[in-house]
Structures are given as C-alpha cells and as structure tokens.
C-alpha cells in the first residue's frame, strides 16, 4: 500500500478528540483491528507491557465516569478501552510505552472513521484497578472512549513551533 505524503499529513492534522458519539455500535471486527494496530506502537526493549480492557458494560462505564469526572464522554461511547501497563515488565518506561500504544489506538480509530478521546486514568489508579480487577502491577494509564463521531470539533490551538523548539541548547531559538 502506498499513501501520498499529503494524505498522511492531512490524516494527522484532522485527528480530533471526539467526545460525542453516535449510538451505532462499533463492529467487533473494526474494534479488533484498532486493538491489533495498537500493538505496533514502539516500546522500550520491545517489551510491549500493555494490556487492553475492552469496556462495553454501561455499569462499568458509569463507574469509570464516577471515578474520573473528565471521563463522561465514555457514557455516550459504544465502547471504551482501558490501557493498562505492567510496571514490573518495564519499570522505567511503562507509562511512555502505554502512551505510545494509546496514541496508536487514537490514530487507528481515526483511520477507520471512528472518533476517540483519551481520558485520564493516572489520577485514579487504585480505584480503576479495583473496579476492573487489575493486579497492583498493572497500572491503568489511559481510558479511550471510541465510537462513530457525532461532532466535528474545530482544531484546538497549538503553541507556535518557535515557542517550543530550540537548537543545541534550551533557550537557543530557531533563526527567524
């Protein structure tokens, strides 16, 4: 398969966090492909310390949204995925590894025309572990709400490149 560069750039620039979803279910074959692609994220030493907990039960979604108020998009999403990471398998990098898998999940969802939003899990690790029956070593790093988008949000503003880029040493700005 070959993709034109401009198509790939447009793909990256058109991803948005989606928080409003159509009620239509996500077909299992698409969900499995999204999860399958998430496994291709880079991880330190290729340890792949992630597990994915698919959440479809509305009661579990409600409890997650009670645990973290910012997780309310989950209530209208046909499916949620909790990305949890084995801190023993990758003690230095587990959060970064799982962030990579989560980002791959958001991009894979976008590729299939699904909407998705990353919802914070790291503030409520113990409550989420208890709810999902995760052992102490598996740290929930992200909750992803997934479904067909029912909104088209504007792009959120980004800091200018020159405000976040330096050459050789912090403080040395790009030449203007």
Ligand X SMILES: Cc1cc2nc3c(=O)[nH]c(=O)nc-3n(C[C@H](O)[C@H](O)[C@H](O)COP(=O)(O)O)c2cc1C
DSSP class per residue in 63-86: HHHHH-GGGGGGGG-SEEEEEEEE
Region near ligand X per CB under 6 A, out of 33-41, 43-51, 115-123, 127-135: 115-123
Shortest gap between Cβ of 156 and ligand X (angstroms)? 4
Q: Is 102 helix (H, G, I), strand (E, B) or coil?
A: helix
Residue nearest to ligand X (CB): 70
Confirm or reject binding of residue 20 to ligand X (CB under 6 A). no
Shortest gap between Cβ of 72 and ligand X (angstroms)? 8
45: its two tokens: 């030493």
Q: Which is nearer to ligand X, 19 or 87 (CB)?
A: 19
DSSP 155: P
Q: Which is nearer to ligand X, 27 or 70 (CB)?
A: 70
- List the interface residues with ligand X, window 119-138 (CB under 6 A): 119-120
Confirm or reject binding of residue 12 to ligand X (CB under 6 A). no
DSSP 43: -
What Å distances lie between residue 151 and 48, 114, 172, CA to CA? 33, 11, 41
Q: What is the largest CA-CA distance in the chain?
A: 54
Integer-rounded Cα Rg, in Å, for the chain is: 17
- The span from the CA of 51 to the CA of 115, in Å, is 21
Q: Which of 25, 42, 45, 70 binds ligand X (CB under 6 A)?
A: 70
**Count, residues near ligand X per rule CB under 6 A:** 11
Q: Give the binding site for ligand X (CB under 6 A).
A: 16-17, 19, 70-71, 73, 117-120, 156
């Amino acid at each position: 398969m070959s993709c034109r560069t401009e198509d790939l750039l447009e793909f990256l620039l058109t991803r948005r966090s989606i928080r409003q979803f159509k009620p239509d279910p996500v077909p299992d074959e698409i969900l499995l492909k999204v999860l399958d692609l998430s496994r291709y994220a880079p991880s330190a030493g290729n340890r792949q310390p992630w597990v994915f907990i698919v959440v479809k039960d509305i009661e579990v979604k409600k409890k997650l949204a009670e645990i973290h108020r910012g997780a309310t998009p989950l209530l209208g999403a046909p499916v949620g995925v909790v990305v949890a990471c084995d801190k023993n398998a990758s003690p230095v990098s587990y959060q970064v590894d799982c962030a990579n898998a989560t980002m791959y999940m958001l991009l894979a969802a976008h590729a299939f025309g699904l909407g998705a939003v990353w919802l914070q899990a790291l503030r409520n690790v113990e409550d989420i572990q208890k709810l999902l029956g995760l052992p102490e070593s598996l740290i929930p790093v992200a909750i992803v709400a997934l479904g067909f988008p029912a909104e088209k949000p504007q792009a959120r503003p980004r800091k200018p490149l020159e405000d976040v880029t330096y050459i050789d040493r912090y403080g040395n700005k790009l030449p203007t």
